[in-house]
Chain A
């Protein structure tokens, strides 16, 4: 069966520090991969998605970037964190090439910026 792993589960970082959140998927190949942010009391906002290695689409301009160095690995990064980057970050995957397939979510990373 397919599984998705996100780490770390929680992270406290000072303003201006770098960030790297990692997501890996097991049990499937060539998935679509997604990064979402969930701010407190708000819905989910799609940040990035990827349909293949090295292919990244950004949905909103911001202080973050994403990379997909391997088929089942998706990384969210920042060079300098801002206070507004605080939130709950969720990684998700869906079957590649099929837009009617549901997305499957990881357990998230709660990021607090001090």
Chain B
């Protein structure tokens, strides 16, 4: 079974500052990794995914994440945030076999202050 831990429930950041949202996972098998964003009262939108290959993956809206197998981490970063990045961010993993069942972290609420 897999589990995901998002280490920060809330992250306040000033506009144009860099941000890192932390995600650690636990699994006995290799996994696929995803970051989703949820704006208020909406569904989730895929930011980026890691399946294999290069450990640095780039996504939409200027976000990127780095897969670190030894530390079982998949932290999300953005060099300069905007007010519109205010949202909840979810890290998720799935096992590579069978129907894709995502296991989500508890989410990190990112608040951008002017």
Which residues of chain A have a CB within 8 Å of any CB of chain B?
A: 6, 32, 34, 42-46, 49, 51, 57, 59, 90, 92, 94, 98-108, 110
B interface residues, how many (CB within 8 angstroms): 26
Asked if A43 contacts B99 (CB within 8 A), the reply is no
Asked if A90 contacts B44 (CB within 8 A), the reply is yes
- Nearest CB on B from A8, distance (A): 13
Q: Which residues of B contact A98 (CB under 8 A)?
A: 100
Contact of B94 among A42, A43, A57, A99 (CB under 8 A): A99
Asked if A99 contacts B42 (CB within 8 A), the reply is no
Which residues of chain B have a CB within 8 Å of any CB of chain A?
A: 32, 34, 36, 41-46, 49, 51, 90, 94-107
- Nearest CB on B from A104, distance (A): 7
A-B contact pairs, 28 of them (CB 8 A): A6-B43, A32-B100, A43-B90, A43-B105, A43-B106, A44-B90, A44-B104, A46-B101, A46-B102, A49-B99, A49-B101, A57-B99, A90-B44, A92-B43, A92-B44, A99-B98, A100-B96, A102-B49, A103-B44, A103-B100, A104-B46, A105-B44, A105-B45, A106-B43, A107-B41, A107-B43, A108-B42, A110-B41
Our count of residue pairs bridging A and B at CB distance below 8 angstroms stands at 63
Asked if B51 contacts A51 (CB within 8 A), the reply is no
Contact of B100 among A59, A101, A105, A107 (CB under 8 A): A101
- Nearest CB on B from A12, distance (A): 15
List the 6 closest A-B pairs by CB distance, nearest first: A105-B43, A43-B104, A105-B44, A43-B106, A44-B104, A99-B100
Q: In the complex where A100-B32, A102-B34 touch, is A43 in contact with B43 (Cβ < 8 A)?
A: no
